[in-house]
Structure 1
C-alpha cells in the first residue's frame, strides 16, 4: 500500500468509527463530518466551509515586512499526517486541513494576507525558513532554547504531550520511572523524543532500566504498531492522541505532560526567521484574535479549548538544550 493510500485509509477508518458513534446517538453524520464521543464535530472535507475568519487590523498589518505586504500572501510551511486535528489530509487525500491550518488562516486575516500553505517533512520545514522560501512554520512547533538561537517565536497554544497505549493495556504511569523496560514509539526530531531521552538519562543515573525508543515518521505506521502491540505505547502531541483514542476506541491515554518537561510548561508557537520582523506582527495578530473570541472558536472547533493561552509571548523560555 502506498504512503498516500495509507493516509487515506487511516482517515477513512476514523470516519467509519465515528459515524457509528453518531448513529448510536441517533444523530446521522453528514458526509465528511464525524462526531467524537465528547460531542465535537470534525469537518474532514477539503472545502472547510465553516472555517472561522476575522477582520484585517491595519495597525497590526503595517508591522509585516513590506515585501510580504506587496506580495499579498503569507507563505506558511508545515507537516501533514493522517491523524486529526492538527494538520492532516482531508477526504480527498490532497488538501491539508486542521487546527493549525485554521489558526494560520485566522492570524493571516488580521495581517490582511491570504495563506499559501505548503507541506514538507519536519526537518525540511526548518530548511525552508532558513532559505527564506517560506515565511512562517506553523505546525505544532515547540519553543526550545536551541531553536531560539536561529528563530523567533510567537506563542499561540500550550504544548502538552500524551502517552497513548492499547485500550486493554494494564500499564499505569505515575512518573518517568514507569517507562523502564517499555518499548515506546516517538517521532524523530520532536520534543517528545527529547523528553523520552531525558527520562532515560535520569533513570539511568538512578540505576533504572531504560525504555527502548522506536522511531516512526507517520501516523499510519505508529498506530499500526500500537494496535498490533509491537510497541507498549506512543508518546506524541496531546491533541492527536486525544482525537485518536476517543474516535477509534483502540487506545487510551495514561499520562499527559508538558512538552518542555516537569520544570516548564511548553508552548507551541509560530516560528519565523530570526530578526525577520514577523514575530511582533504575529504576536499582535494572535492577541487580537484572543480578544475578539475567534481564537477560542477555532480551538473549540477542533476540541483543543483546553490548550488555549491568555496572550501570545515572543521568545519565552523554551525546552532546555539537550
Structure 2
C-alpha cells in the first residue's frame, strides 16, 4: 500500500525531563502543555480513583444503526484492553480493580455514540488478540498500533498518534537518536508489539553496519522490567511514550532519553480501535470516533490525561500502517 509522509519526524526527547517539571508546575488551565511533556502534569491532576465521573456523549441514532444487528440486539459493546501498572493509557484505579485511563474513557465515548453499554474486559496483550479472533470481544481499544501485517486479520479505526519512548534509569547519561545508540545495549521490550518490531529492525541494522546487535530482553511483568532497570540489569526499556513520560514524572526513578514515531522514520504511527476483519463493525467505530472528535468530547478526554499532543484530526479506516519491513 502507499505510504503517507510522517506528520512528525522522529525526534529525540532532549530536555524532556525539564519540560515535564515545567508542565507539572504550570497552570492546568493554561493550555500550554501538550504531548509527552504534558503527560507528567496529568499525574498531579488526574483522578485515579474508581469513581471516574467520565466525560459522556449522547447516542447518534444514524451511527448506532451501522452496528451489526447481533451486537445491537445484545445491547453491549464488548471492549478489551490490557492494563498496565501506571497511567495514563489503561491501568487500575486506587481500588486495584476498576480499569481506568484514556483508552477506557475513549471506549466509553464510542459506546455512548453507538447507544451500547460499554463492558471493558482486561486481558494480557496476547489474549486481547486471541479474544478478538474468537469473537469473544467486539473491539480492542488498548494502544494497538496499525501495522500492515495486522491488517491481514483486523480492521482499524484510528484515534491517536503513536509515539514510542526509550526510558533509562534516572541520571543514566544515555541518549537515543538512532540504532547506533542501542548497539550492544540491554533493552527490554514487550513481545509481539510494534516496539519489538522496531527494536529488532534496529538490531539488524546495527549488525549490517558492523556494530553490536541489541541485547533484547523480555519480561512477563512490567514491575519486573522496572526492577531490572533500577538495578542496572538492563540499560533501557522501549515502550509507549505516554506511559514512559507519566512514570518519569510521577516516580522520579526513570527518564525518557529518546522518542520515535511508532511508524518508523517515514510514517507517523497510529493507534486504532481494532476489530476482527470484515465483521462489519469498523465503519460504526470510525464514525463514532469522528462524532466525538467533532463534538469536542474527544479533546476533553485527551486533555484530561494530558495527551492532546497525540490527537488526530480524523479517524481513518485502515490507514497506512507500520510496513512489514519498515525499511
Q: TM over 0.5, yes or no?
A: yes
- The equivalent of 2:268 in structure 1 is 265
C-alpha distance in 1 between matches for 2:273 and 2:134: 17
Structure 1 counterpart SS, 2:84: coil
TM-score by length of 1: 0.87
Q: Give the one of 18, 43, 46 matched to 1:42.
A: 46
Q: Give the one of 84, 89, 94 matched to 1:91.
A: 94
- The equivalent of 1:131 in structure 2 is 134
1:218 is displaced (CA, Å) by 2.6
- The equivalent of 1:203 in structure 2 is 206
- The equivalent of 1:237 in structure 2 is 240
Contact 2:40 2:248 in 1 (8 A): no
C-alpha distance in 1 between matches for 2:149 and 2:158: 16
Structure 1 residues 246, 285: CA separation in 2 closer, same or farther (over 3 Å shift)?
same
C-alpha distance in 1 between matches for 2:226 and 2:302: 24
TM-score by length of 2: 0.86
1:217 is displaced (CA, Å) by 3.0
Structure 2 counterpart SS, 1:254: strand
- The equivalent of 2:294 in structure 1 is 291
C-alpha distance in 2 between matches for 1:243 and 1:111: 31
What whole-Å deviation, never above 9, does each CA across 1:274-305 have from its counterpart, x for those lacking one? 11111110111111111111101101111111
C-alpha distance in 2 between matches for 1:141 and 1:109: 21
Contact 1:160 1:257 in 2 (8 A): yes
- 1:1-322 maps to which residues of 2 (within 5 A)? 38=41, 41-49=45-53, 51-322=54-325
Structure 2 counterpart SS, 1:217: coil
Write out the 4+ residue segments of structure 1 that deviate beyond 4 Å after TM superposition: none
Structure 1 residues 286, 259: CA separation in 2 closer, same or farther (over 3 Å shift)?
same
1:37 is displaced (CA, Å) by 5.5
Contact 1:83 1:219 in 2 (8 A): no
Aligned length: 291
Contact 1:81 1:219 in 2 (8 A): yes
What whole-Å deviation, never above 9, does each CA across 1:210-231 have from its counterpart, x for those lacking one? 1111112332111111112211
What whole-Å deviation, never above 9, does each CA across 1:34-63 have from its counterpart, x for those lacking one? x985365111111212x1111111111110
Structure 1 counterpart SS, 2:63: helix
Flag structure 1 segments of 5+ consecutive residues without an equivalent: 1-21, 26-34
CA RMSD of aligned residues (A): 1.8
1:179 is displaced (CA, Å) by 0.5
C-alpha distance in 2 between matches for 1:121 and 1:74: 19
What whole-Å deviation, never above 9, does each CA across 1:111-168 have from its counterpart, x for those lacking one? 1111111111111111111111110011000101111011100000001100011111
C-alpha distance in 1 between matches for 2:285 and 2:195: 26
C-alpha distance in 1 between matches for 2:213 and 2:121: 38
1:80 is displaced (CA, Å) by 1.1
Flag structure 2 segments of 5+ consecutive residues without an equivalent: 1-23, 27-37
